Amino acid sequence: MQKFTTVTGIAVPLRRSNVDTDQIIPAVHLKRVTRTGFEDALFAAWRLDPEFVINKKEYQGGRVLIAGADFGIGSSREHAVWALRDYGFDVVLSPRFGDIFRGNSGKQGLLAGQISEADAETLWNLVECDPGVELTVDLVSKTVRVGDLTVNFEIDDYTRWRLLEGLDDIGLTLRDEARISEFETKRESWLPRTLPALSPESSRINLM
Amino acid sequence: MTNVIPTSTISSDAGLRTLAEKVWDKHLVTKGEDGTPDLIYIDLHLLHEVTSPQAFDGLRLANRPLRRPDLTIATEDHNTPTLAIDKPIADPTSRTQIETLRRNCAEYGVRLHSLGDIEQGIVHVVGPQLGLTQPGITVVCGDSHTSTHGAFGAMALGIGTSEVEHVMATQTLPLNPFKTMAITVNGVLRTGVTAKDIILAVIARIGTGGGAGYVLEYRGEAIRALSMDGRMTICNMSIEAGARAGMVAPDQVTYDYLKGRAHAPRGADWDAAVAYWQTLATDEGASFDAEVIIDANELEPFVTWGTNPGQGVSLSGSVPNPAEIVDANERSAAERALEYMDLTAGTLMKQIRVDTVFLGSCTNSRIEDLRAAAEIIKGKSKAEGLRMMVVPGSARVRIEAEAEGLDQIFLDFGAEWRFAGCSMCLGMNPDQLEPGERCASTSNRNFEGRQGKGGRTHLVSPLVAAATAIRGTLSSPWDLVQDGD
């Protein structure tokens, strides 16, 4: 993962709350087996409307999405993060995120910054009055800057550190491999195992 | 967060622990320091075709082994057709995703239950019915409805694909401790009111974000009175309140469900396991970070009117007027929802006519759900022009239902009797709504387009689904009684 410090780019105001991951990427677009190629699936249903904010020419090339509360609720699909990344977003700001979405973001270099409802309103108004204006999102100071305005955002310290350092989670965990192995020696013998498969009957059903 | 009573801000006294905290502590590999997360061991990893291919690719790229194939199991559910399953899957992208899962499982030695296998079905139906889902374990799956397994007193988390890869490689997850919320449901449900109505009422009360950061523990007389199928319905939808997980402490109902299942402990192991499971319940006097209290006696059949699961109302109520909603965000969300749903404020919910009834999904596709619906429709006829689709949660549920003659009841009624899978809950297979089509659905999400582009979803219980299929308008079994049946 690339290191993340600051991003300066066009802000896109998405004045909607409860933007669930089915809206970010509808299920019919989840059938790819790669991590890339999801850009056209982002907000696929809403983008059919020419007036939808992403379609407006002044917001083309947007990198910072400013959304209403409860962004990324619903399905665990990491495809939602991949679609935002593939489209070109580096940052999503919202007063509250779905937990799984926020976790997924941190794994893919997408900064999910929590801002207050009041600051969301301020930023929406500012961007709508000056469409195409660029914001600077600074992960070091946890601020969003535009002109004279500075707004703070929240992100948990661990995710922030990993983004700043560009660290891979699995590599970090495998440094504790000895502890994992030790833990495994103490697990009760009766805990469930999937292998060998225990199934009392013949394994095929009548397909007709 | 409205309607949630904050309890003491002081965490549990030393020694007094909640169910969630006990399971967490038991799985601690390393305790996080200085803001780093805890490392939690994962006892059971469930896979399906949609969220796993990129994780397998990640392992392959990094040349890492899958650490514990013996704690991993896969099934095909999201893309699988529910008709003509003896034929190749028609949609080439769906077929590729299924074939990719088959190749990956073969390469990494993962047990897979493919379409046509007796253990195939929705991943959250398969784990419990095999007896793999057990009290006190940690369960993860690249699917948000993994919360279902919490019904057994397991800590069950939906995760993203990066985390799927992390569990494949390490059998652990770095996680920050969650807060705990008690959802206490006192009293006794009236006949015709079900587990689904409880959870829809909870979500309407606390909102889609009300559970964010929390593990919910469902407690109280009404929860204890539920079967495992009912408890699974409730825990399943914890995610719709924004919670990371939902749990119910195990009790005799849990043990009776598990005993004798293929992967449940046997003999002396069973006794040892039960002795441990009996220690899991929240200690008397342990404190939660928040509590919500629901009176089961007052609950009625519940239904959603909007486009998120928090936008619900009693079936006897009416479509709300957005102008009366104080919160500006909720007001504009309600306005948008009514436009999408093509509903007018003030319309009685029972006047809403539906085109399709869907009985299925990981929320309500288990044998008791099918029995309950079948009992309502038996000997009745379906409303003119309405289509009803019945999709059992697993191949085994389908076989069990057929042995009881439920398939014939549904077929005689005029419903379609399908093979197992996620089906119209999210329409990744051909089972989708047409634009503008209105559906009473026993599934879990009424999001825009969830069941098909332009489709309109009302979330309901299996009983409401059945009564609606008879009357053609959103209805409860109570309405059938009034009709003089």
Q: Compute mean pLDDT per 10 residues along chain B, 485 residues long, and list them.
A: 46 78 98 92 98 97 96 97 94 96 98 95 98 98 98 98 98 96 98 98 96 97 98 98 97 98 97 98 97 98 98 98 92 96 98 98 98 97 98 98 98 98 95 97 97 97 98 96 73
Q: Which 8-state DSSP code applies to residue B149?
A: G
Domain housing B322: 302-477
Same domain, residue pair B249 and B306:
no
E strand spans, chain A? 6-14, 64-67, 91-94, 111-114, 134-138, 143-146, 149-152
- Which chain A residues are Cβ-neighbours of B137 within 8 angstroms? 191-192
Q: What is the pLDDT of residue B9?
A: 37
Mean confidence (pLDDT) of chain A: 95
State which of B293, B320, B350 marks the end of a domain.
B293
pLDDT at B109: 97
Mark whether B246 and B361 lie in a shared domain.
Answer: no
Same domain, B318 and B247: no
- Asked if pLDDT for residue A105 goes beyond 80, the answer is yes
The CATH number given to whatever domain includes residue B129 is 3.30.499.10
Determine, yes or no, domain membership for B440.
yes
Residues of A within 8 A of B96 (CB-CB) are 31, 33
Which one of B272, B293, B314 terminates a domain?
Answer: B293
Kindly determine whether residue B159 and residue A100, on different chains, have CB atoms separated by under 8 Å. Answer: yes
Whether residues B197 and B286 fall in one domain: yes
Chain A, nearest residue to B237 by Cα: A74
In this complex, which of B41, B54, B428 lies closest to A34 when CB atoms are compared?
Answer: B54
- Cα distances (angstroms) measured from residue B330 to each of A72, A116, B152, B201: 16, 16, 34, 17
Q: Determine, for residues B41 and A183 on separate chains, whether the beta-carbon distance falls below 8 Å.
A: yes
B41 and B124 assigned to the same domain:
yes
Question: Under an 8 A CB cutoff, do A26 and B209 touch?
Answer: no
Q: Quick one: CATH architecture of A6-165? A: Alpha-Beta Barrel (3.20)
Q: Is B436 exposed, middle or buried (0-12, 13-18, 19+ CB in 10 A)?
A: exposed
pTM for this prediction: 0.95
Nearest residue on chain B to A185, judged by CA atoms? B29
> Does B336 share its domain with B451?
yes
Nearest CA in chain A to B80: A31
> Residue B455: CB partners within 8 Å, gap ≥ 6?
B427, B432, B433, B434, B435, B436, B437, B438, B439, B449
Residues in B touching A100 (Cβ below 8 Å): 144, 158-160, 239, 244
Beta-carbon contacts below 8 Å between A and B: 240
B230 and B268 housed in the same domain: yes
In 3D space, the residue among B474, B476, B360, B351 whose CA is nearest the CA of residue B410 turns out to be: B360
Known binding residue B362? Answer is yes
Q: Is residue B385 part of a domain?
A: yes
CA pair distance B485, B479, nearest whole angstrom? 9
- Peptide bond just before A196 cis, omega within 30 deg: yes
Tokens representing A103? 């976790």
How far is B163 from B171, CA to CA, in rounded Å? 10
Kindly state whether residues B109 and B257 are assigned to the same domain: yes
Q: CA B267, CA B228: separation in Å to the nearest integer?
A: 23
Residue A205 is predicted with a pLDDT of 82
A29-88 pLDDT tens trace: 999 999 999 999 999 999 999 999 999 999 999 999 999 999 999 999 999 999 999 999
- What's the confidence (pLDDT) of residue B482? 77
Q: Which residue of A has its CA nearest to B163?
A: A104
Would B2 be classed as within a structural domain?
no
Pairing assessment for the beta strands B312-314 and B179-186 based on DSSP bridges: unpaired
Does residue B338 lie within any of the structural domains? yes
Given B263, B293, B323, the domain boundary residue is B293
The count of structural domains within chain B is 2
Same domain, B413 and B355: yes
Residues B280 and B353 both lie in one domain: no
B317 and B423 housed in the same domain = yes
pLDDT at A94 over 70: yes
Under an 8 A CB cutoff, do B445 and A20 touch?
yes
A52 exposed, middle or buried (CB, 10 Å; 0-12, 13-18, 19+)? Answer: middle
> B130 to chain A: which residues are within 8 Å by CB?
198-199
Q: Is B422 annotated as a binding residue?
A: yes
Residue type, B396: R
Q: Are residues B386 and B312 in the same domain?
A: yes
Contacts of B164 (CB under 8 A, 6+ apart): B45, B47, B51, B52, B55, B140, B142
